[in-house]
Amino acid sequence: MIVDRQGRRFRNLRVSLTAACNYACSYCVPDGKRLVAAQDELTAEALTRGVAYLIETAGIERLRITGGE
């Protein structure tokens, strides 16, 4: 379980699949700058393992997937 300083439990996880997006909205890409180079992004396998681990060990109840629109 992941808890913040006020003792609130984190139940939600937001995962951005990629920073490579044709829209480049200010919500995801402040100042129009790419935050992560393509070669530094996680593979699908590594991302899947990481999310599964957090769901199993940290008590994540809700998963929101974004990115790459």
Q: What is the pLDDT of residue 52?
A: 94
pTM passes above 0.85: no
In this prediction, residue 34 carries a pLDDT of 61
Domain boundaries, the chain: 12-66
pLDDT the model gives residue 28: 66
Q: What is the dihedral of CA 18, 22, 25, 26, to 10 degrees?
A: 70
Q: Render pLDDT for 23-53 as a digit per residue (tens, 0 to 9).
A: 767 766 666 666 666 667 888 899 999 999 9
Contacts of 39 (CB under 8 A, 6+ apart): none
Helix, strand or coil, per DSSP, at residue 2: coil
Q: How many CB atoms are located within 10 Å of the residue 46 CB?
A: 10
